[in-house]
Amino acid sequence: MNTVKENLEILKFSYRFTKEQNIPVYAIFLFHAISEPLPAIFSVWFTAKITALISVQEPPHSVLVHAFIGVTLIFILTIIKRIGEHFYFKKIDILTVKEKAYVSDIISKKDYALLEKTDFQLLFKTYDEVASNYGCSVIRFYFMFLTKVMSGFIGLVLSLLIILPSLKTLFVFDNNTFITSWKPAVLTIICIILFGIIMGITGNRLANFWTKLHEETQSSYSMFMYWLSFTENYKQGKDIKVYRAQKLIQQEYDYWQEKSLKLTRKTIKKIIPLRRIIGIFTGLIVGTLYSYIALRAAIGLLSAENLVAIVGAVPLIINGITQLSNLPFLTKTLCKYVGYLKRIADYDSDRYMGTIPVEKRDDNDFLIEFKDVSFKYPNTDTYALKHVSMQFKIGEHLAFVGTNGSGKTTFIKLLCRLYDPTEGEILLNGINIQKYNMTEYMSLFSVVFQDFSLFAVPLSQNVSTSVEYDNKKLWRYLEKAGIANRVKEMPKQENTVLYKELDDNGVEISGGEAQKIAIARALYRNAPFVVLDEPTAALDPISEFEIYERFNDFTKDKTAIYISHRLSSCRFCDKIMVFDNGQIVQFGTHESLLSDENGKYNQLWNSQAKYYISKVE
């Protein structure tokens, strides 16, 4: 359970959240919390006043004038309440979208290496499961209950304040009869205190039930959503159809749905008696209160005005206490859930982000050096790279070859500072790359990873990775990447939306076309280092040949790294680096590497050449 200090931190965080999102929800929610109980409270006060006027036989026209003023004020207060409600509901719904946007914004700004840490992933998974249970927003529920509690508190205090003078008359005693003695008054006060305590306890128990239920159902609910997502994602439709996976998917989501429903039913079974107890106690307390008040009124100890005020205020007080009984749910459950979001936002990378600006050079005179670099991925014990030492000269075109899992992509990830070496250091122009401002340093690289992603936005925005783009530059690189003709055939050319997720008129593209667009994106960035990781894997032989042909041209004045399984496609590079089991085992030109008959390169080359020869034969 959160401490008071932690809950105050959450309150501060939620305030910071709304400030960052530029939504003045605090003012709006406070306005709603105050305006909500006002018409009812004023009605009670005003009815008592009118009763008083009638009791003292005020002339009818004076009563009418007072009634008119009162009704007008109630009308105005009701309008104010409605305005408060209107803005409240408008803002509360926006919170869901804002929270999603906030989460994706903070995640996209987090250090890449952090996203792979087990404790961060667990924290994010927990938050994600809770949020999906709460309609994708924990902040929304937090504010809803915070407003309920505030409104309950304000309503309770105001109701007590307006009936305070009337309440005083309940405490005038003579000791002639039991009813007029202090005893029933004390009994009634005890009843009210008991009611408050019972509501507090039941509110707490209800909060525990809901928290436990959500914790128990979280994993089955997210499994249910996982399986459900298959049926909703049209891109997976082919595999589902071909492998007749419908039954498997249905069985899985039926199973997980039933599991979470079972738990819900179990909890509801416990909650129903609790709700009954609350109902019975509320009835008993209200009954006792009304009986006591009625008896005092019957024997003339309570004026009509005070009777009306107290009888009218009782439901308001009960309602205030009921709203306040949401406090445990707010402070225990919702604060804990918003706490997950806060921890995600506050989770800082322990990596040094660097401060030195990267020198902007027209001649791209950059020298990279790996000095005895070794690397283990987070949460693993084995080295993906071992004692790698090498330098690349400016403008050099390098090819990385090696079997799967030999460490080629890992080398690129370290080069781009997605991770820092576990041992050793990487230098840029003699300075450890960790000392450079990370964002500036990263902008030196254009990388097409094997698992690149394109987005369901216009093609132009995919290439420029921005809403604005330079049309001439865009077409130049579409041309270079060999995709310009295909784009010219698209319904809206460069403005055509890719994929159908967000636009019915979006176009579906093949894997090879997507790869060419990703290459155009890398070129558009015009960074001094270009890295293509298996850029031709999804391309047909003709497109593959075109890419090789153009590679030297579009990386003319740049340092380029080309990773490929097809050794024949690496021959056009100046030097080839051979990776094996996390190490660079050979480095040189195609001819020199091939001439070492016992070397890995020769072995790889011959195994591929043999394959082609046997096919031709």
Q: Which residues bind ligand ADP (CB under 6 A)?
A: 116, 377, 380, 384, 402, 404-410, 579
Contact by Cβ (8 Å): 584, 577: yes
Contact by Cβ (8 Å): 474, 460: yes
Nearer to ligand ADP, 356 or 585 (CB): 585
Q: Rounded to an integer, what distance in angstroms lies between the CA atom of residue 92 and that of residue 533?
A: 45
Nearer to ligand ADP, 342 or 417 (CB): 417
DSSP per position, 479-491: HHTT-HHHHHHST
∠ at Cα 375 (372, 379), nearest 5°? 160
Burial 94-105 (b: 16+ CB within 10 A, else e): ebbebbeebbee
Q: Rounded to an integer, what distance in angstroms lies between the CA atom of residue 509 and that of residue 478?
A: 15
Output the smallest distance, CB 101 to ligand ADP, in A: 27
Reported as type and span, the H/E element at residue 165 is helix 138-170
Q: Rounded to an integer, what distance in angstroms lies between the CA atom of residue 137 and that of residue 18?
A: 13
Q: Is 417 left (phi over 0), alpha (psi -120 to 50) or beta?
A: left
Which three-class secondary structure string do you get for 379-423? CCCCEEEEEEEEEECCCCEEEEEECCCCCHHHHHHHHCCCCCCCE
Output the smallest distance, CB 11 to ligand ADP, in A: 38
Nearer to ligand ADP, 42 or 601 (CB): 601
Nearer to ligand ADP, 377 or 587 (CB): 377
Output the smallest distance, CB 400 to ligand ADP, in A: 8
Nearer to ligand ADP, 345 or 384 (CB): 384
Contact by Cβ (8 Å): 158, 106: no
Q: Rounded to an integer, what distance in angstroms lies between the CA atom of residue 143 and that of residue 139?
A: 6
Nearer to ligand ADP, 181 or 379 (CB): 379
Output the smallest distance, CB 416 to ligand ADP, in A: 13
Q: Rounded to an integer, what distance in angstroms lies between the CA atom of residue 485 and that of residue 544?
A: 16
Q: Which residue has the tokens 């050079």?
A: 361
Residues 6 or more apart whose CB falls under 8 angstroms from that of 61 comprise none
By the 10 Å C-beta count (0-12 exposed, 13-18 middle, 19+ buried), 338 is classed as buried
Q: Which residue has the tokens 């909060």?
A: 207
Output the smallest distance, CB 608 to ligand ADP, in A: 16
Output the smallest distance, CB 447 to ligand ADP, in A: 13
Output the smallest distance, CB 408 to ligand ADP, in A: 4
Residues 6 or more apart whose CB falls under 8 angstroms from that of 118 comprise 378, 379
Nearer to ligand ADP, 322 or 583 (CB): 583
Residues 6 or more apart whose CB falls under 8 angstroms from that of 147 comprise 29, 32, 33, 88
Nearer to ligand ADP, 159 or 409 (CB): 409
Q: Rounded to an integer, what distance in angstroms lies between the CA atom of residue 429 and that of residue 365?
A: 9
Nearer to ligand ADP, 306 or 446 (CB): 446
Q: Rounded to an integer, what distance in angstroms lies between the CA atom of residue 352 and that of residue 355?
A: 9
Q: Rounded to an integer, what distance in angstroms lies between the CA atom of residue 499 and that of residue 455?
A: 8
Nearer to ligand ADP, 406 or 569 (CB): 406
Nearer to ligand ADP, 397 or 408 (CB): 408
Nearer to ligand ADP, 469 or 605 (CB): 605
Nearer to ligand ADP, 211 or 406 (CB): 406
Residues in a beta bridge with 498: 507
Output the smallest distance, CB 122 to ligand ADP, in A: 16
Reported as type and span, the H/E element at residue 276 is helix 246-298
Residues 6 or more apart whose CB falls under 8 angstroms from that of 321 comprise 152, 156, 195, 196, 199
Output the smallest distance, CB 562 to ligand ADP, in A: 13
Output the smallest distance, CB 454 to ligand ADP, in A: 21
**Phi and psi of 474, rounded to 5°?**
-55, -50
Output the smallest distance, CB 411 to ligand ADP, in A: 7
Nearer to ligand ADP, 108 or 404 (CB): 404
Output the smallest distance, CB 437 to ligand ADP, in A: 25
**Gyration radius from the chain CA atoms:** 36
Output the smallest distance, CB 544 to ligand ADP, in A: 19
Output the smallest distance, CB 401 to ligand ADP, in A: 9
Output the smallest distance, CB 25 to ligand ADP, in A: 39
Residue 548 neighbours by CB distance under 10 Å: 19
Nearer to ligand ADP, 410 or 555 (CB): 410
